[in-house]
Amino acid sequence: MSKGSYPTKHQRNALILSIIPGLGQLYHKQYLKGISFLVLAASFFIVFRDLLNMGLWGLITLGEKPFRDHSVFLLVEGILALIVVVFGLGFYLFNLRDAYKNGQKRDEGERLSNIKEQYRNLIDNGFPYLIMSPGFLLLVFVVIFPILFVVLLAFTNYDLYHSPPAKLVDWVGFKNFLDIFKIDIWRQTFFSVLGWTLVWTFVATTFQVALGVFLAIIVNQKDVKGKAIIRTVFILPWAVPAFVSILVFAGMFNETFGTINKDIIAFFGIEPIKWMTEPLYTRIALIMIQSWLGFPFIFAMTTGVLQSIPEELYEAATVDGASSFQKFKNITLPLVLFATAPILITQYTFNFNNFNLIYLFNGGGPALPGSNAGGTDILISWIYRLTMTSAQYSKAAAITMLLSLIVISVALWQFKRTKSFQEEDMM
Amino acid sequence: MSIKREKFIRLTLTYLVILVMFAIILYPLAWIVGSSFNPGQSLSGSSIIPKNATLAHYKELFDLNQSAYLHWYWNSLKVSVATMLLTVILVSFTAYSFSRYRFVGRKNGLLTFLVLQMIPNFAALIAIFILAMMTKLIDTHLGLILVYAGGQIPMNTWLMKGYLDTIPKELDESAKMDGAGHLRIFFQIVMPLATPIISVVALFSFIAPFADFIIASILLRTEKKYTLAVGLYDMVAKQFGAEFTTFAAGAVLIAVPIAILFLSFQRYFVSGLTAGGTKG
């Protein structure tokens, strides 16, 4: 039977009636459902009318009179209104679909489910939604909402000079992004911060990984005694909370009382080094500290992998006359890298956003003349500085978007390669 | 002879490297412990093994009139435990629905979670700050806990879903045959089998708030409400040289219990992590 050739037109009628939610269901004589849909739709409009009205107006204009309209609050209300609209539309579509589907059933002469069956259906199909909703709601408000806010903020001129309530904030389109690339000071700062971020990510991570793998391999040699103690000590930097160690290092590298200048370097007869005021030395210190903090994790992972390599592989290689170096190159290294590869990539993304170390060690400093970023600021700590100290909110938002773009593209590339993405039933 | 010599050189070099690493690892730890026993507030003229060691700094920290340290400790524990509980509950539910049910929006939901877990939630710190001000949740631990727990959901949901997928579906199907309801299957069949991954998620969601500095430093305004990370940083940043020995005592009091806990659970932690990493 082709579409539209039924003797009855329940499908069409219900769909049209359902333009007002609930009427389609009433038409199907599902009274309880229809009435609850009607009530839901009506209360949606009554409860959210003001928010929708005000929010959408605010979202478009960002306020018209200073002191009466607070642009940022209007922006927040606007996003809330958008979220409410999305939920409303979802419900509306569900209503249309329900009326349409049941109309189809009636056209085909099937019996519609009665109240008891509807209740069972609701429980069975609604259960996943029901148990997910608390987590999902929290996610919407503390994760999705802030992201939307930052995205929108990047297209405004919200900064110290356009600060509500005395001033209004306006939409400025892509001006922030263009400024970052066009205005000299922004462009230079952006690229120097980005450059250091990449160098930092690459050097610090590679260093800590190489150190961790190297130590795991030499400790794992058969004839090394006292493995248990060695391993416990090597895990120690991981066991101490990182923020504590970083602050301790900040003390050790301090130029007036720190032990590095006072005791260690003096012991070798070298002049005190300006660890905290010379960008180059701060950078070197940061990389050394991150190696200290980060290698135990890699060490533990690699040790686990090494212990799982079957001894026969090495014996067979020895019989074939392989040297220790050949055994290392052709057996140990490939197996270790293969097993730890996914974790290695997360180490890179971790350091890319390693705010704690950069900020707690020297506040992103030392300050550079003629720049609004410190000498060791990476993108994330620069964003923090722009937000918290110089109130450059819209620029900070624009840079956040650029940063997220980098992180997402790297991470997507990584996930495409991992197993779980290719599994049949993942989705 | 030459094989013997080669072995001797190799082992000597190995032990030498290990010794150097021992020094590099232990020196900062010894230095901070030594500093915490040094008399006086500044470090000038101090040494790793103090001549007249004193417990004065520890006493100062435990005295609520002199420092808010105990408040910070309590706040950190409170926030971390609350975040852990909230995260485990929410994540178990979301991961369970994603793993066991096929519903409209599931695929998009999973993809959204995948993208969200890649952006650190502090990237949107301006928004979190303004939102907290508008909702009056600024300077409250509730606000902090909600932000932490929300931020933990996407990553841990993926982690736990990966594990739940490996628990055979036949188990819940046969339970359903026997007349078990949705909640009963969830609580009595699937969750008991998922304890290993639940403990990994619990651990992650405990450690993250404990170690976080950035969000806590944005949201918390009064000294009494600080968490340890913010409080210690404040102690250091305010007058670094001047209060360093007290800071050192504070650092030792955090490092020692956490390190002992960590070392005793290390084995489970590492295996859980590798399992999660390869399954993830």
Structurally, how many domains does chain B consist of?
2
pLDDT at B273: 56
Question: Are B189 and B226 part of one and the same domain?
Answer: yes
Q: Residue A360 sits in which domain range?
A: 176-426
Between CA B144 and CA B138 the distance in angstroms is 8
A164 in any annotated domain:
no
Band (pLDDT 50/70/90 cuts) for residue B279 is very low
C-alpha distance from A10 to closest chain B C-alpha (Å): 25
Question: Are A144 and A193 part of one and the same domain?
Answer: no
Question: Are A205 and A274 part of one and the same domain?
Answer: yes
Asked if A139 lies within 8 A of B153 by C-beta distance, the reply is: yes
B261 in any annotated domain:
no
CB-facing half-sphere around the CA of B195: CA atoms within 13 A: 5
Mean of the pLDDT values across residues B230-253? 82
Question: Are B7 and B27 part of one and the same domain?
Answer: yes
* Percentage of the residues of chain A whose pLDDT score is greater than 90: 24
Mean pLDDT estimate for chain B: 85
Mutate to test the interface with B, among A51, A74, A143, A416 (most CBs of B within 10 A): A143
B250 in any annotated domain:
no
Distances (CA, A) of A15 to A6, A33, A92, B20: 15, 15, 12, 78
Top pLDDT among B17 and A68 is at B17
Q: Give the domain CATH number at B167.
A: 1.10.3720.10
Q: What is the pTM of this model?
A: 0.84
Q: What is the ipTM of this complex?
A: 0.86
Q: Tens digit of pLDDT for each residue in A118-156?
A: 788 878 888 888 889 999 999 988 888 888 999 999 999
Q: Which residue of A has its CA nearest to B94?
A: A132
Radius of gyration, alpha carbons of chain A: 31
Between CA A75 and CA A169 the distance in angstroms is 10
A165 in any annotated domain:
no
Between CA A136 and CA B13 the distance in angstroms is 55
Tokens for A179, please give them.
């400024």
Question: Are B31 and B98 part of one and the same domain?
Answer: no
Residues 6+ apart with CB under 8 A from B44: A256, A257, B241
Hunting for tokens 């976080």 — which residue is that? B212
Question: Are B72 and B11 part of one and the same domain?
Answer: no
A73 in any annotated domain:
yes
Q: Which of B149, B195, B193 is nearest to B170 (CA)?
A: B193
Question: Are A14 and A133 part of one and the same domain?
Answer: yes
Q: Tens digit of pLDDT for each residue in B8-64?
A: 998 999 999 999 999 999 999 998 898 888 887 666 656 667 777 788 888 888 888
C-alpha distance from B90 to closest chain A C-alpha (Å): 5
A33 in any annotated domain:
yes
pLDDT at B166: 85
C-alpha distance from A415 to closest chain B C-alpha (Å): 9
pLDDT at B72: 93
Mean of the pLDDT values across residues A377-397? 89
Q: Cα B117 vs. chain centroid, distance in angstroms?
A: 17
- Identify the burial level of B45 via C-beta atoms within 10 angstroms of its C-beta, where 0-12 means exposed, 13-18 middle and 19 or more buried: exposed
Structurally, how many domains does chain A consist of?
2
Q: Residue B173 sits in which domain range?
A: 68-238
Top pLDDT among A5 and A43 is at A43
pLDDT at B269: 63
Residues 6+ apart with CB under 8 A from A48: A81, A84, A88
> Above 90 in pLDDT, residue B125?
no
B161-180 burial, b for 16+ CB within 10 Å, e for fewer? bbbbbebeeeebeebeeeeb
Q: Please tell me whether residue A156 adopts helix, strand or coil conformation.
A: strand
Q: Which of B249, B274, B196 is nearest to B41 (CA)?
A: B249
Q: Which of B207, B126, B121, B200 is nearest to A353 (CA)?
A: B121
Asked if A427 lies within 8 A of B110 by C-beta distance, the reply is: yes
